[in-house]
Amino acid sequence: GQQVMQIPQYQHVQEGEDFTTYCNSSTTLSNIQWYKQRPGGHPVFLIQLVKSGEVKKQKRLTFQFGEAKKNSSLHITATQTTDVGTYFCAGPAGAGGTSYGKLTFGQGTILTVHP
Amino acid sequence: DAGVIQSPRHEVTEMGQEVTLRCKPISGHNSLFWYRQTMMRGLELLIYFNNNVPIDDSGMPEDRFSAKMPNASFSTLKIQPSEPRDSAVYFCASKWNWDRSYEQYFGPGTRLTVT
């Protein structure tokens, strides 16, 4: 079945440093989503990318969708303590994804920021 | 909008007891997803419904797990009998299935501890 892999699993940075997490799918995706989960919280939708090579920015966050639509990245510039949490990518899972919005989530990257 | 509502937020029970988790999706959403999250296995999809009908329950780990959606505003996930390995955070998520966004709205989760 479809697999979505994320690296790294953990990332520790000093406040002000940049951070990047990478997502790779075993199959071509129609779109990819990114979610953030704060410690003790629930996943919250950040963004959806649809087009090949698409780049979107949200303040210090930059999201990219690969040309082949099989990989994606999230880059945070000048991290802040408020960026702490787990970042997940997710892609539509097979026919269920197309028809009902079923998603396959990556394992997530846990980001810690030292002040 | 109140968002997705889950109850209880925390549940501690003894092995062998029945556990029922409850979810109220966002009004108007017609797809509902139950997930389980653990450190070891990450975020796993257990079952999902569309228009109150179960579409795919292949993620339900065992016959001890069952889920129902008697109407558009309520769903339950039941574990009977519960076992210590069922300890996890259980999330419910909903979405509107007729737009192009795959965004899922997660509830705050139920933290289940089985002793």
For the cut 80, the answer to whether the pLDDT of residue A4 exceeds it is: yes
Alpha carbons within 13 angstroms on the beta-carbon side of residue A10 total: 3
From B42, B104, B109, residue closest to A45, measured CB to CB: B104
* Confidence check: pLDDT of A19 > 70: yes
A 54-93 → B contacts, CB under 8 A: 88, 90, 92-93
Residues of A in contact with B56 (CB under 8 A): 96, 102
Q: Are B111 and B13 in contact (CB under 8 A)?
A: no
DSSP state of B86: G
A and B: number of Cβ contacts within 8 A: 56
Look at residue A95 and tell me whether its pLDDT is greater than 80.
Answer: no
Tell me whether residues A48 and B102 touch, CB distance under 8 A: yes
B99 has a chain A CB within 8 A of its CB: no
Distance from CA of B102 to the nearest CA of A (A): 5
In A, which residues are within 8 Å of B104 by CB distance? 43, 45, 101, 103
Please report the pLDDT score of residue A2 as a whole number: 78
* Highest mean pLDDT, choosing among A18-22, A25-29, A91-95, A101-105: A18-22
Pick from B97, B106, B109: CB nearest A101: B97
Express each pLDDT in B5-53 by its tens digit.
999 999 999 999 999 999 999 999 999 999 999 999 899 999 999 999 9
Residue A96 has pLDDT above 70, yes or no: no
User: What are the phi and psi torsion angles at A7 (to 5°)?
Assistant: -140, 150
Query: If pLDDT is split at 50, 70 and 90, which confidence band does A74 have?
Result: very high
Cβ B4 vs Cβ B25: under 8 Å: yes
> In b/e form, how buried is each residue of B3-12, taking b as 16+ CB within 10 angstroms?
ebebeeeebe
With H, G, I as helix, E, B as strand and everything else as coil, classify residue B8: coil
* pLDDT above 70: residue B1: no
**What is d(CA B114, CA B87) in angstroms, rounded to the nearest whole number?**
6
**Cα of A114 to nearest chain B Cα, Å:** 22
